[in-house]
Structures are given as structure tokens and as C-alpha cells.
Amino acid sequence: MSLPTNTSYSPEDGGVPTRTGGGFRIPLIFRRLHRFQQMDFELAAWQLTYLCLAPRRVYRNVYFHKQTKNTWARDDPAILVLIAACLAVAAIAWAVVYKLGLWGSTSLIIFMIFRDFLLSGIVIATTLWFVSNRLLLSPPSHSAPADSSVEWAYVFDVHTNAFFPFYLTLYLAQLFLLPIVLKGNWVCLWLGNTLYLAAFAQYTYGIYLGLSALPFLIRSELLLTPLLPLFTAYILSLLGFNVAKHVLSAYFGQ
């Protein structure tokens, strides 16, 4: 599979990106997934922690990475491995709750990792990569050279960072609140719907934080526009639509 990226890597450069004028290469972070001994899991765990406590602090390191490796995107896939492990644990827990059995548990692990995280990330990253390069680039200047462009791999990084708080809210917190959010009274409906609102609002804000960290992007506040229909749908759902009940029914086919 080949993904769009403005930066390509050669095996001889030790991970330093080289531009190929619109080359289409699988990002380095995916091509290093088999190198477990070279992964910095301590740094990845630190990043996951601060993505929940102080996400702006994580993006301060982006500038250092750009200066040292000449690319905005991370090249260490340790964070992907940790998130995949977290999703696997969550899938097993959900499988126990819904009594899915061994095959059902295995299928759920695969779906959560490859569909919910990776496939959705590829689609979202590709969309944001296209929109950012078409609509959000600032005019060429001293601070924004003419060749400044958003790397696809960096947008996928942003998705990865934004996904973890989303995971904590809907994959873990919702699991513990499951007996409450599935009840039929309005207070439980409000709690469940607010949980989904918080998860998607966190994700949207995380995308905004990540892309607004790039100094050559303008009008990045446009990335917050999904919050308007999100809040509108939330208000309407409080009239009697239990989001958690409908989503989980569709997700688990029950």
C-alpha cells in the first residue's frame, strides 16, 4: 500500500527525509514497526500521558524534531505499538462484557486496531493533508518558505495523538459506565451522550492543536468548525436519542 506524503525516506539516510517532488512512499514510522529494540517506549509513554494532561507540551517537541531530523513527523513507531496494545486490552474487556468468545475477541481486537485506529486514521489524515495543503498554507514569506507543505505522516501523527484521549473516553470510561449509560432514564441518557460529545470534542481539538503547531499554516481555527454540528447534534440528542445505546448496538450487532 502506498500513502501520499510530501517527504520520502531512503534507507541510506538513517531516517532523514529527502524530498522527491511529490513522491509516494510509505512513511518511515510504518516501515520501522518491526524494529522493537530501537523503539523508545519511555518517551512514547511520556507523550501519551501529556496528551491527556498538557497536550501543547507534546507539540513543543515538534520544533526540536524538525531541527534535528528535518521532518515534522515522528519516526519512532513506539506510540503506535502502545496504542495498539491499549486497544487490544480494551477489546478483550469489551469481549468479556458481551460474551463474544475466543473468535469474537480476536475479531474485535483486529477491528479496533486496524479499522477504528489505523484505517480511520489513514482516511482522516489523507483528508486533512489535502485540505491543509490546499486551504491552510500561508503565502510564501521569510518565515514560510515556498516549499513549506504539510507532511502526510505528520497529519497521521496528529490523528494518533488525538486518538488516545478519545480512546480513554469511549473505549475505557464508557466500558466502566456501561451499566449506567444504557439505562432508559434521561439522566443516564445525558451522561452517555455527554461522554460521546467529550470524546469527539477532544479529538477535534487535538487535531486543531497538532496542525496549528505548524508555523506555516493559517486559518487553522477552521479545523474547529466540526464542533458546531457536533454540539447541535448533542443538543438534539438530549430530546431522547441515546447515542451510547444505538452506537453499541450497531458496533456489537446486538
- Is residue 195 a contact partner of residue 178, using CB atoms and an 8 Å limit? no
pLDDT tens digits, 190-233: 999 999 999 999 999 999 999 999 988 988 999 999 999 999 99
pLDDT tens digits, 146-189: 457 899 999 999 999 999 999 999 999 999 999 999 998 999 99
pLDDT tens digits, 18-68: 344 445 578 888 888 888 888 999 999 999 999 999 998 888 877 777 777
Give residue 140's pLDDT band: very low, low, confident or very high (50, 70, 90): low
Q: Is the pLDDT of residue 13 over 70?
A: no
| Interatomic CA distance for residues 49 and 76, integer angstroms | 17
In this prediction, residue 9 carries a pLDDT of 38
> What cell was used for 96?
468479556
- Is residue 28 a contact partner of residue 12, using CB atoms and an 8 Å limit? no
Which sign does the torsion angle of CA 152, 154, 159, 163 carry? positive
- Is residue 27 a contact partner of residue 153, using CB atoms and an 8 Å limit? yes
